[in-house]
A and B are shown apart, each in its own frame.
Chain A
Amino acid sequence: MPFVNWLKRRLVVIAGLLTLAYLLLPNVIVTVFSFNQPKGRFNYEWQRFSTDAWRDPCGVADMCGSLSISLQIAVWATVGATILGTMISFALVRYRFRARGAVNSLIFLPMAMPEVVMAASLLTLFLNMGAQLGFWTILIAHIMFCLSFVVTAVKARVMSMDPRLEEAARDLYAGPVQTFLRVTLPIAAPGIAAGALLSFALSFDDFIITNFNAGSTVTFPMFVWGSAQRGTPVQINVIGTAMFLVAVLFVLASMVINNRRNKQKA
């Protein structure tokens, strides 16, 4: 039975590729349906090919507005969480101090908490303080939950860093600021970049926490959520497809750059 043997040897590969197909199937559907011209309000059934939505991506009321709000929040949440998180990870890796255990668990807990619990408790705080729900409460919440992920990403990088490099810099009469800017920061940069990228993705895509703390502000995920009830415009699929393409190009480009650098070093 050569076929059975062939199948046996390839079993892992076939199973893995099937999982990959399962992961990518919705993306394929989103892309295909961005070229659909639906009959009613809902874009769930294929009618006929059209490029209308691609030629007029902002043709839906409020969609691009929500997109821009999401982008602004994601950018500021990334900036905030990356700065605060990088500072924390340097303190954790480079110094010994009391309350280190407490700090570690305070950072771990938000990642181990169901989002709905954090969302609800944050809302009780805002209600008790009488805060006006909107852009600022969303931003505060996003910085809060992105922070832990940045710390984890940066810590991993800083921990694997050779401290002798910095000693060498000091031996060569670099001041503390110079050492940090010319040696420490460049080495930690990939970790910081990974943390920042993760923050951006998490913040841009967050629905549950935003849903609780947004008030009447509508971010892009909230727009999609609302449209699921009112009827989904094709333009949502256009944005989804564009986001996927941009992400793939972005990651591929960074890989090409990395490869080139490695070759230059070799």
Chain B
Amino acid sequence: MSTLSEAPPPLAPAEPAQKPPRRRGRFTPYWLLLPGMLWLIVFFALPMIYQASTSVQQGSLEQGYKVTWHFATYWDALSAYWPQFLRSVFYAAAATVLCLLLGYPLAYLIAFRAGRWRNLIMVLVIAPFFTSFLIRTLAWKTILADNGVVVHTLNSLHILDLTSWLGWTAGDRVLATPLAVVCGLTYNFLPFMILPLYTSLERIDGRLHEAAGDLYARPWTTFRKVTFPLSMPGVVSGTLLTFIPAAGDYVNAELLGSTDTRMIGNVIQTQFLRILDYPTAAALSFILMAAILAMVTFYIRRSGTEDLV
């Protein structure tokens, strides 16, 4: 093990000064912060307050809305749309698990096995970002088309019988079913899982793998006891970056799903932009926000990575 002690210490980033030096002008940081913070306060924080107030208003489009502290809107919205809420959580969770299962091998491949192909694979992971995601989502309509190769193959292997029985698909179709929506969600948010996973895997000191091997750990044991625990920060931020946007998404459910697969995002969009029932829409989006914040807080506590955020 003499190689270990001789090896140079892992490259640490230049030590950030513990106490940044005092500069001339005590107000400089405030001047630097002012424009950006003002922007976020006026166009991010203030709207939240407006939305909270809208959710307890009553009235009509013609006569205007007034704050009446009508909290029953929340109750009505929840009792009318709880199936869509549950569905959103379920779809987003399914997509997140699939992203983790699919993304981990690719992130691992890029971090440890790709060698000189690493840069090329990175480009291929990032580049689809620059093609409009709506165009790519529409492409899934072609891929999953009723008389396409995918559906044909699944059908002849009798997989569709099984998934129909489970309620994921309907008959000989994949489009307009939950499976199609989850497939689209998984596809769209996969890069958000791969990139944090890759970042945390890449930071792992390769000598730890050697040490595990020297201690007669089999590859799978090394993965379970060394690699995976050390990649936890990536797993946590990856699941958050996948789950949160997936739970609020309405594009996949609209383009690849049907009325039976509507998610809460679809309801909020319809209420706000078509039915113009602003109090209900505001209440729904507030419930969604609160639910997600609660789940995320719980999840971060449980996974013990509070310092992450």
| B interface: dominant SS | helix
Can you list, as one digit per residue, whether each of B114-140 has a CB less than 8 Å from chain A (1) or not (0)? 000001010111111111111111111
Query: Which of B17, B191, B249 touches A23 (beta carbons < 8 Å)?
Result: B191
Is B181 an interface residue, CB under 8 A from the partner?
no
A110 pairs with B44, CB closer than 8 A:
yes
**A106-B44, A112-B296 known; A22 and B255 CB under 8 Å?**
no
How many angstroms between the C-alpha atoms of A212 and B51 in the bound complex?
Answer: 14
Is B212 an interface residue, CB under 8 A from the partner?
no
B132 pairs with A243, CB closer than 8 A:
yes
Q: How far is the CB of B120 from chain A (nearest CB, A)?
A: 8
Query: Which of A27, A94, A108, A114 touches B136 (beta carbons < 8 Å)?
Result: A27
B240 pairs with A118, CB closer than 8 A:
no
How many angstroms between the C-alpha atoms of A114 and B285 in the bound complex?
Answer: 9
Is A76 an interface residue, CB under 8 A from the partner?
no
B136 contacts across to A, CB distance below 8 A: 26-27, 30, 240
A204 contacts across to B, CB distance below 8 A: 130, 132
Is A246 an interface residue, CB under 8 A from the partner?
yes
Size class of the A contact interface (CB-based, 8 Å): 35 or more
How many angstroms between the C-alpha atoms of A194 and B223 in the bound complex?
Answer: 32
Is A147 an interface residue, CB under 8 A from the partner?
yes
Q: How far is the CB of B123 from chain A (nearest CB, A)?
A: 5
Segment from B105-113, B163-171, B202-210 that makes contact with A: B105-113
How many angstroms between the C-alpha atoms of A178 and B129 in the bound complex?
Answer: 37
Is A191 an interface residue, CB under 8 A from the partner?
no
Q: How far is the CB of B31 from chain A (nearest CB, A)?
A: 8
B288 contacts across to A, CB distance below 8 A: 114, 116-117
**A163-B17, A237-B135, A244-B128 known; A91 and B29 CB under 8 Å?**
yes
A26 pairs with B44, CB closer than 8 A:
no
Is B178 an interface residue, CB under 8 A from the partner?
no
Can you list, as one digit per residue, whether each of A220-250 has a CB less than 8 Å from chain B (1) or not (0)? 1100110010001000110111011011100
Q: How many A-B residue pairs have CB under 8 A?
A: 265
Task: Please report which residues of chain A, range 184-220, place their CB below 8 angstroms from some CB of chain B when the two chains form the complex.
Answer: 201, 204-205, 207-208, 211-212, 220
Task: Please report which residues of chain B, range 14-49, place their CB below 8 angstroms from some CB of chain A when the two chains form the complex.
Answer: 14, 16-17, 19-21, 23, 28-30, 32-33, 35-37, 39-41, 43-48
Q: How far is the CB of B174 from chain A (nearest CB, A)?
A: 14
Q: How far is the CB of A122 from chain B (nearest CB, A)?
A: 5
How many angstroms between the C-alpha atoms of A20 and B106 in the bound complex?
Answer: 7
**A20-B121, A115-B248, A159-B16 known; A87 and B44 CB under 8 Å?**
no
Q: How far is the CB of B202 from chain A (nearest CB, A)?
A: 14
Size class of the B contact interface (CB-based, 8 Å): 35 or more
Query: Which of A24, A26, A124, A212 touches B282 (beta carbons < 8 Å)?
Result: A124
**A95-B29, A121-B50 known; A244 and B282 CB under 8 Å?**
no
Q: How far is the CB of A21 from chain B (nearest CB, A)?
A: 10
Q: How far is the CB of B187 from chain A (nearest CB, A)?
A: 7
Task: Please report which residues of chain B, range 78-120, place their CB below 8 angstroms from some CB of chain A when the two chains form the complex.
Answer: 102-103, 105-110, 113, 119
B39 contacts across to A, CB distance below 8 A: 84, 143-144, 147
Can you list, as one digit per residue, whether each of B159-196 has a CB less than 8 Å from chain A (1) or not (0)? 00000000000000000000000000001001100100
How many angstroms between the C-alpha atoms of A124 and B103 in the bound complex?
Answer: 37
How many angstroms between the C-alpha atoms of A141 and B131 in the bound complex?
Answer: 21
Q: Which residues of B contact A (CB under 8 A)?
A: 13-14, 16-17, 19-21, 23, 28-30, 32-33, 35-37, 39-41, 43-48, 50-51, 54, 102-103, 105-110, 113, 119, 121, 123-143, 145, 187, 190-191, 194, 240, 244-245, 247-251, 255, 265, 268-269, 272-273, 278, 281-282, 285-286, 288-289, 292-293, 296, 309
A to B CB contacts below 8 Å, 20 in the list: A15-B106, A16-B109, A17-B106, A23-B125, A25-B139, A26-B136, A44-B141, A84-B39, A88-B37, A91-B30, A114-B288, A121-B282, A123-B272, A124-B51, A144-B43, A161-B14, A208-B250, A240-B131, A240-B136, A244-B127
